[in-house]
Each structure stands twice: as C-alpha cells, then as structure tokens.
Amino acid sequence: MNGKINALGRWIPEQINGQPVIPFQGIGKYIPEGRKAAPPIVSCANYPKDGNKVVNSLRKALELAGIKDGMTISTHHHFRNGDKLTNKLFDTMAEMGVKDLIWFPSASFPCHEPIIEHLKSGVIHHIEGSMNGSLGRFCTMGKMKGQGVLRSHGGRYRAVQDGDVHIDIAVIAAPAADPFGNANALYGKSACGLLGFALADSQYADKVIIVTDNLVPFPCIPWQIHGNHVDHVVVMDEIGDPEKIVSGTTRITRSPARLLIAEYTARFIKEAGIMKDGFSFQAGAGGISLAFISFLKKFMEEAGVKAGWVRGGSTRHLVELLNEGLTSYILDGQTFDLDGVRSMRDNPNHVWTSPFTSYNYHGKGNFASMIDVVILGATEVDVSFNANVVTHTDGLLLHGMGGWQNCLFANCTILALPSFRDRIPVIVDKVTTICGPGQLIDVVITERGIAINPARKDLIDSLKGSDLPVRTIDEIKIEIEKICGGPPVPPKVDKKRVVAAIEWVDGTVIDVVYKKID
C-alpha cells in the first residue's frame, strides 16, 4: 500500500475504496478547483401534474427510483436513536436482492446495529459516515468489505456538493410531508425539529424519496425540504420512536469534577472578556455543556450581558436563554429535546439552519467561523493540542465527528473535558487519531487546570490577574499520568490495514484508523 505523510505527520494511503485521496495540507491550504456537482436536469412532463407523488410502498418507490447494485443510498439522523426507517429500508433492499450498496448516513446510532447483518451478507458494501458503537467496532475489527469514510457534518455537505460522493437515492424520513414532497420536522408524532442534515441529499441526489408517518395536505409549511426536489412520497405507520428521537431529560451533569470543568469554562469566557454584549457561543447537549450554559447564564444575568446569537443543538437550557431575552437568536442545527422542537416551531427567532449555512467549508463563508467561542469535547487531546473524537485510546472507532471539526473555526475553541476517564488519561503525547489540528484548538479545560494554546498569546494575556488555574498542557499531562499509573498503552493495530479514513473539512484526509488486533 503506497501513501504519503500529511501536514500533521500522519501517513495517508494513496487510495480509499479505490479512489485517490488528497492528504491534509494544512488549514486553508488546499484550495479546490473545478465546479460543483450537477444533478440531472428533469422535466415536469415526467412528474404528476397534480403534484401527487405518493406511491404505496417503500419497495415501489425504490423500484421507481431505479434501485440497483452498487448504488449509494443516503439517510439522515435527525431521529437519532429513535430512527425506525433505516433498518426497514435496508431490509427492503435485501428482500429485493440488491447488493454492494454504499450507505451514506449523516450519522448512525446504536439502533442501527442490525445493519451489521447487511454488511455481513453483502447487501451493504461499506458505510461512509459515522459508525457508532457496534458498527464502529465491526469496522475497526476489519470486518467491513470497504473502508469507512468519516466526515464532519459540513464535510458531508461539501463532499456531496463537490461531487466526491454521488448519492443515487436519498431516503428522507419526514415527520410532516405533503403529497408533493414538501417536508418539515416541526409537526407530527415524530417531530424532531428540522431536516438540515438531509438538505444536501435533497439538492444533489439523482432520486429523492420522502417517507412520512404524517401526510398533510399541500402545502406543508414551512418546507424545510422542497418538494421540487422530491421524486416519490411513501407513507408508513411509524418512522420514528418519539421517546428516543428527543430526550425529555437532557440532564446537567452531577459529577463534581465535570461541574468544575463547566464552571471553569464559563469563568474563562467571562474573565477572558469574551462574554460581552452581542457575543455568540456554541455548546453541545452533553452534561458538561449543559452545566456550562447554566453557569454562563448566571454570569450573563449578573453582568447584564446579552448574546447576539447562540448556536444549537438546542435544549431547554438554550431555549430559556432565548425566552428570557439573554440571546436574540438561536441558530440551530438540531433539536435535542421537545422544548427545542417547540421553540423552533413557535419562535421565529429560533432559526433552523443546515450544514450548508453553518458548516460547509467550500462555501462563501459559513457561520461556524463567526462564532466567538465554542465548547467541545474530545476522546483525547495531545500536548500539541491535536484532538481526537472518533477513536478511543484502545484504537476502537466508536464515534462520529458531528459538527466538531467545523466548529474548530470559532474565534476561541475550548475543549472542556475530564483529564482522565476510567483511569485512562485523556491528555496524551500523541492522539490515536487526529480529527482536528492543534492549531485550531485554543484552550483545554479540565478539572485539574486550564491549558491555553501557546499560540494564543492574546488569550493568555487576557487571563492575567485571573485566579483560574491556568497551567501548561504538559504539566496537566504529567499529573494525570501519575494518577493513572503512566500514559495509556498504545493499541495493537495492523498498520497494513486501513479500515477508515478521517476527512478534514476540505476533503483532504487528516488521518486514518487501522484494523485493531484482538
């Protein structure tokens, strides 16, 4: 296997899945040429004049869409672990005798474990997208026929837009849709807020199938997906499990260490002078993030500061900020609870966005780079501030990247994480897999101290006089190695077997995952 060393010193094979790849060249260094993907021109003459595109089964829709071996089939993950469509979809294609498909999800979840059977039987050749939990394990053990390709949300939009991935058939689960195919996720028993992760699919796929459990009369308003992109509409009894689509109990962490991390993070933003009128921030829906929002909210109230806009994933904690006038807007990429869904439906200042607006690096700018501060997690971070979100220190690929890479372009990127997990250090000499270059990671906040990237002298200066525990990342690393009994043991891997590639936001390859040896 031939390859090259990329700009971060990682070896990158010449090809992934038989296609040539470009090694990571540095941030903003790879400037693409050429033109975007061009979907086929179609004619209204071939679509029903009355706009009724409903067909009576998923199988029928797939037949009409011309399903055949080797096609790339896309799905979205707004239903998260409550997705009831994807398994049925591939079961149907298995029944139809189709083989060697590429599954191109925007993310996968534990509920997709049955997909392993289709990977084993050859219905699916490989997955391009996040492979969480058991799917990731299956891939890491070298059992998938093809190689995985992991992309950020923005990278997925980019790959479709740029023509790196050609979607033959997009199958879009929609909580509300009309017979023409206009669809949204704001209404119905499976309401999940928005359908942004399916936007590229609707715009660029050759064929688009909407599957809904809530067919409404034309016009389905608002149309988050345009019916003008849709070929067929299928009605099913149940496309999602509402209990698992959104969690009614997105909970703030109770761990004292994690609460401390959250508090340090909020204090850092305040004391570094980032928290000022009109500022913007993005935090996720994990326990630390939610606790952080709660601390920050208190500080904002005390100081009389109001944010200009905040980015979701939204939860009731973010919605509270909006309702209480502490932010003018939520620009939201996904709703994590029912308060988020309701707010997005009822409050025009809770705005649905998409990977196109927020994250696409091959656009004329995007929202992610305009944010003042973003709070993210990681599985590992190294002393050069490079970070990993997809593999664990044992080499297992267990997570997708979500919008993580895209968010690194914020003015201040903070990784807020415990210094060790299960007595395994999180701060290491070299991360198992590089997902984000240290150059873009400004601050690492742990319960044992705050490490500021030496390149961010402005941030270091801004903290002068603060009693926050600012330390070097090496200091923190040495301390936790003492606690944990030394650095982590590197995983045993077969360096000749690349099982997955990690794309950077611009489509170059930043690192690879190797087959783990039992």
CB 353 within 8 A of CB 331: yes
Task: Choose which of 369, 439, 462, 466 interacts with a second copy (CB under 8 A).
Answer: 369
Region near a second copy per CB under 8 A, out of 31-39, 55-63, 336-344, 475-483: 31-39
Residues 6+ apart with CB under 8 A from 74: 103, 104, 105, 106, 167, 169, 170, 171, 198, 201, 205
Question: How far is C-alpha 472 from the chain's CA centre?
Answer: 30
Nearer to a second copy, 61 or 498 (CB): 61
Phi, psi of 515 (to 5 degrees): -60, 130
Instruction: Map residue 55 onto helix, strand or coil.
Output: strand
Binding status of residue 325 toward a second copy by CB under 8 A: no
Could you say whether residue 273 binds a second copy (CB under 8 A)?
Answer: no
Residue 305 touching a second copy (CB under 8 A): no
Tally the C-alpha atoms within 13 A of residue 206's C-alpha that lie toward its C-beta: 13
**CA dihedral (18, 24, 30, 36) positive or negative:** positive
Return the exposure string of 110-137: e unless at least 16 CB atoms fall within 10 Å of the residue's CB, then b.
Answer: ebbbebbebbeeebbbbbbbbbbbbbbb
CB of 400 to a second copy, least distance (A): 22
Residue 66 touching a second copy (CB under 8 A): no
Q: Determine, following the binding rule CB under 8 A, whether residue 37 of this chain makes contact with a second copy.
A: yes
Q: Given the rule CB under 8 A, which of 37-45, 130-138, 313-321, 425-433 is the region that contacts a second copy?
A: 37-45
Q: Could you tell me the smallest distance in angstroms from the CB atom of residue 163 to a second copy?
A: 8
Residue 191 lies near a second copy (rule: CB under 8 A): no
Q: Does 36 bind a second copy (CB under 8 A)?
A: yes
18 counts as binding a second copy under rule CB under 8 A: no
Residues 168-187 that bind a second copy (CB under 8 A): 180-181
Smaller CB distance to a second copy: residue 31 or 489? 31
β-bridge mates for residue 414, sequence order: 375, 443
Could you give the angle at the alpha carbon of 430 between the alpha carbons of 428 and 434, nearest 5°?
Answer: 115
How far is Cα 94 from Cα 275, in angstroms, rounded to an integer?
A: 53
Taking the C-alpha atoms of 381, 441, 375 and 197 in order, what is their torsion angle to the nearest 10 degrees? Answer: -90
- Binding-site member from 33, 302, 467, 518 for a second copy (CB under 8 A): 33
Among 380, 442, 506, 511, binds a second copy (CB under 8 A): 506
What are the DSSP calls for 459-513, one per residue?
Answer: HHHHTTT--S-EE-HHHHHHHHHHHHTSSPPPPPEEEEEEEEEEE-TTS-EEEEE
Q: How far is the CB of 417 from a second copy (least distance, A)?
A: 25
**Toward a second copy, which CB reaches closer, 34 or 256?**
34
Answer for which of 9, 19, 48, 482 binds a second copy (CB under 8 A) is 48
Q: Quick check: 64 binds a second copy (CB under 8 A)?
A: no
43 near a second copy, rule: CB under 8 A = yes
For helices 287-303 and 316-323, the axis angle rounded to 10 degrees is 20
Q: Is 38 in the site for a second copy (CB under 8 A)?
A: yes
Residues 111-130 that bind a second copy (CB under 8 A): none
- Amino acid in the structure at residue 493: V
Residue 197: how many CA atoms within 13 Å on its side-chain side? 29
Residue 250 vs 357, nearer CB to a second copy: 357
Contact with a second copy (CB under 8 A): which of 20, 348, 465, 485? Answer: 348
Q: Does 364 bind a second copy (CB under 8 A)?
A: yes
Q: Shortest gap between Cβ of 399 and a second copy (angstroms)?
A: 25
Is residue 370 at the binding interface for a second copy, with CB under 8 A as the rule? yes
| Residue 215 engages a second copy in binding (rule: CB under 8 A) | no
Classified as helix, coil or strand, 372 is coil
Among residues 231 and 382, whose Cβ is nearest to a second copy? 231
* DSSP assigned state of 327: E
Query: Out of 97, 217, 256, 486, which residue is the one contacting a second copy (CB under 8 A)?
Result: 217
What is the dihedral sign for C-alpha 187, 190, 191, 195? negative
CA 251 distance to own-chain centroid: 20
Instruction: For residue 462, give every residue at least 6 positions away whose Cβ sits within 8 Å of its Cβ, in sequence order, or none.
Output: 271, 272, 273
Between 51 and 122, name the residue whose CB sits nearer to a second copy. 51
Closer by beta carbon to a second copy, 86 or else 161: 161
Signed CA dihedral, 203, 207, 211, 212: sign only: positive
By CB under 8 A, residue 356 contacts a second copy: yes
| Site size toward a second copy, by CB under 8 A | 66
Binding site for a second copy (CB under 8 A): 27-51, 53, 161-162, 180-181, 208, 217-219, 221-223, 226-231, 278, 308-309, 329, 331, 348-349, 351, 356-357, 360-367, 369-370, 409, 411, 506
